[in-house]
């Protein structure tokens, strides 16, 4: 049986190993350039750092003096646990029932096939394993392609579709560099859309802000010695006190989330122990002279960052002598985009869903995305992926998106993009 061309393109894209720590960025940039050419969209590439290229696709508006619309996404994917997969994660293997397994079908690459799905008639074989992508880039492209076909892509404002590297590792050499680049300034961005999350219920979820993400490294020095003795002031005792402090606070926040029904994950602060290192290699009988801890903390917008920092410093003192902590990735509060009807962006965005009779729920994004770099420089931006009736399986195994939900997302963007791109001058 001949495979649908759209499926072939999708699987070829999945085989591009844009996985950290060594993403095949050159290969994916070439893929995107060819894709833009096929759809008939202007395309350029901006190297913001050696080996880090931002792809920009542009649909010119009739009034280029107006601030433009930016539809953002990213090209990289997270590493895999190969023992959890039924096949090679980068083989893009298709099962007899049409399930396609590969890293990227869940986070970013799955929607890639949507550029062709309407043109080549999406096969039922794709339904089960089409991902739950957190990046709607190709939905943007398919919507633009459909609008062009229907002669509805004549916008007042210019629309830029951007694709960033390194989002999965913080965006320091991607979006963070791009927003400072002269080529970004030329885009004259007035409003942006970026990734969101699925909603298991009927509504769509819209994110107008993000928690502040901190990566905290703790060093616990102590007296070394032989494993047969009771050594006072050892590193492990200090580690235990540090862990107790952090995880007790974690318990408080988790209880708060579970007991107050009106709260969502983005409304509380999460703390997770992610690194625990120490010891002398091959010597289980040696008490080490130092041990290290790493914590991932996502701070809610209701907390004052200086209060959290002061609390952690107090925990270090309580843990013992010379215990120190360093915030290796200190993200300040990235700002919140207005959802007041006086905002032309929000009033336009929300009116589209009123027209479609679709309920939307406003939340604070629980993790971090490239969108924070836009909000930090004053650009209003919303996180939105048109996925409802779908479980939240971010970075998990065997994520999926139902075909009907997928196609509905394309139709939503066919209404949303023209509405935003035609917001009149104030």
> Across 300-411, where does the E strand assignment appear?
324-330, 360-365, 381-384
> For 376-417, what is each residue's pLDDT tens digit?
999 999 999 888 887 675 665 665 555 466 667 778 999 999
Do residues 31 and 13 lie in contact, with contact meaning Cβ atoms separated by under 8 Å?
A: yes
Do residues 399 and 106 lie in contact, with contact meaning Cβ atoms separated by under 8 Å?
A: yes
Predicted local confidence at residue 144, as pLDDT: 87
The region of weakest confidence among 4-13, 15-24, 43-52, 315-324 is 4-13
Query: What 8-state DSSP symbol labels residue 122?
Result: -
Task: Tell me the C-alpha to C-alpha distance, in Å, between residue 83 and each of 87, 101, 394.
Answer: 9, 14, 18
CATH 3.40.630.10 domain extents, the chain: 5-196+369-421
CB neighbour list of residue 373: distance below 8 Å, 6 or more residues apart: 171, 175, 176, 178, 179, 334
Which of the following is catalytic: 107, 166, 167, 415? 167
List the CATH code of the domain at 212-330: 3.30.70.360
Shortest CA distance to 347 belongs to which of 191, 239, 212?
191
CB neighbour list of residue 282: distance below 8 Å, 6 or more residues apart: none
Helix (H), strand (E) at residue 245: helix 235-259
> For 179-232, what is each residue's pLDDT tens digit?
999 999 999 999 999 988 888 999 999 999 999 999 999 999 999 999 999 999
Predicted local confidence at residue 139, as pLDDT: 67
- pLDDT bucket at 281, cuts 50 / 70 / 90: confident
Q: Mapping DSSP to helix (H, G, I), strand (E, B) and coil, where does residue 359 land?
A: coil
Residue in this structure with the two tokens 């930090």, named with its chain if needed: 376
Active site includes 167? yes
Q: Mapping DSSP to helix (H, G, I), strand (E, B) and coil, where does residue 283 land?
A: strand
Q: pTM to 2 decimals?
A: 0.83
Classify residue 402 by burial, with Cβ atoms within 10 Å: 0-12, 13-18, 19+. middle
Helix (H), strand (E) at residue 308: helix 305-319
Phi, psi of 208 (to 5 degrees): -105, 5
Shortest CA distance to 6 belongs to which of 103, 115, 93, 91?
115
Q: Mapping DSSP to helix (H, G, I), strand (E, B) and coil, where does residue 207 land?
A: strand
CATH number (3.40.50.300, 3.40.630.10, 3.90.1300.10, 3.30.56.10) of 5-196+369-421 reads: 3.40.630.10
Do residues 157 and 425 lie in contact, with contact meaning Cβ atoms separated by under 8 Å?
A: no
Which of the following is catalytic: 4, 76, 267, 370? 76
| Dist CA 195 CA 234 (whole Å) | 46
Do residues 209 and 336 lie in contact, with contact meaning Cβ atoms separated by under 8 Å?
A: yes
Q: Which one of 83-87, 256-260, 332-336 scores highest in mean pLDDT?
A: 256-260
Phi, psi of 414 (to 5 degrees): -65, -20
> For 221-270, what is each residue's pLDDT tens digit?
999 999 999 999 999 999 999 999 999 999 999 999 999 888 999 999 99
Active site includes 76? yes
Query: What 8-state DSSP symbol labels residue 279?
Result: S
Euclidean distance between the first and final Cα of the chain, in Å? 56
pLDDT averaged over the chain? 86
Q: ω before 21 within 30° of 0 (cis)?
A: yes
> For 133-188, what is each residue's pLDDT tens digit?
334 455 687 788 889 889 999 999 999 999 999 998 889 999 999 999 999 999 99
Average pLDDT over residues 11-22: 83
CATH 3.30.70.360 domain extents, the chain: 212-330
**Strands 270-278 and 381-384: what pairing?**
unpaired
% the chain with pLDDT above 70: 83
Shortest CA distance to 130 belongs to which of 138, 201, 73?
138
State how far Cα 303 lies from the chain centre.
Answer: 22
Q: Mapping DSSP to helix (H, G, I), strand (E, B) and coil, where does residue 343 land?
A: coil
Do residues 164 and 75 lie in contact, with contact meaning Cβ atoms separated by under 8 Å?
A: yes
Task: Tell me the C-alpha to C-alpha distance, in Å, between residue 416 and each of 10, 65, 191, 200, 346.
Answer: 25, 21, 13, 22, 11
| Dist CA 182 CA 187 (whole Å) | 9
CB neighbour list of residue 165: distance below 8 Å, 6 or more residues apart: 23, 25, 52, 53, 54, 74, 75, 76, 173, 174
């Amino acid at each position: 049986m001949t495979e649908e061309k759209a499926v072939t393109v999708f699987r070829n894209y999945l085989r591009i190993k844009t996985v950290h720590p060594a993403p095949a960025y050159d290969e994916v940039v070439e893929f995107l350039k060819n894709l833009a050419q096929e759809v008939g969209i202007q395309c350029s590439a901006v190297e913001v750092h050696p080996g880090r290229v931002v792809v920009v696709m542009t649909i010119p508006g009739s009034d280029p003096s107006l601030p433009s619309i930016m539809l953002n996404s990213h090209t990289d994917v997270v590493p895999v646990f190969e023992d959890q997969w039924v096949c090679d994660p980068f083989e893009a293997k298709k099962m007899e029932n049409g399930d396609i397994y590969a890293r990227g079908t869940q986070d970013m690459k799955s929607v890639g096939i949507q550029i062709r799905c309407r043109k080549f008639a999406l096969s039922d074989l794709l339904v089960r394993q089409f991902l739950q992508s957190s990046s709607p880039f190709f939905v943007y492209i398919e919507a633009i392609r459909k609008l062009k076909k229907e002669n509805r892509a004549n916008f007042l404002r210019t629309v830029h579709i951007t694709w960033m590297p390194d989002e999965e590792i913080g965006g320091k050499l991607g979006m963070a560099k791009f927003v400072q680049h002269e080529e970004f300034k030329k885009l004259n961005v007035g409003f942006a859309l970026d990734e969101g999350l699925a909603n298991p219920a009927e509504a769509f979820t819209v994110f107008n802000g993000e928690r502040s993400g901190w990566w905290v490294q703790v060093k616990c020095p102590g007296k070394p010695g032989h494993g047969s003795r009771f050594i006072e002031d050892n590193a492990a005792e200090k580690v235990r006190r540090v862990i107790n402090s952090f995880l007790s606070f974690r318990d408080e926040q988790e209880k708060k989330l579970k007991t107050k029904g009106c709260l969502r994950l983005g409304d509380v602060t999460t703390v997770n122990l992610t690194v625990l290192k120490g010891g002398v290699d091959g010597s289980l009988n040696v008490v080490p002279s130092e041990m290290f801890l790493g914590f991932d903390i996502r701070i809610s917008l209701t907390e004052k960052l200086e209060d959290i920092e002061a609390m952690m410093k107090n925990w270090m003192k309580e843990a013992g002598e010379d215990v120190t902590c360093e915030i290796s990735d200190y993200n300040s509060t990235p700002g919140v985009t207005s959802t007041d009807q006086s905002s032309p962006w929000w009033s336009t965005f929300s009116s589209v869903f009123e027209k479609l009779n679709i309920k939307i729920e406003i939340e604070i994004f629980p993790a971090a995305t490239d969108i924070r770099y836009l909000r930090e420089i004053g650009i209003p931006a919303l996180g939105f992926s048109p996925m409802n009736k779908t479980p939240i399986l971010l970075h998990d195994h065997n994520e999926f998106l139902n075909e009907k939900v997928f196609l509905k997302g394309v139709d939503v963007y066919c209404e949303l993009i023209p509405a935003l791109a035609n917001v009149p001058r104030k």
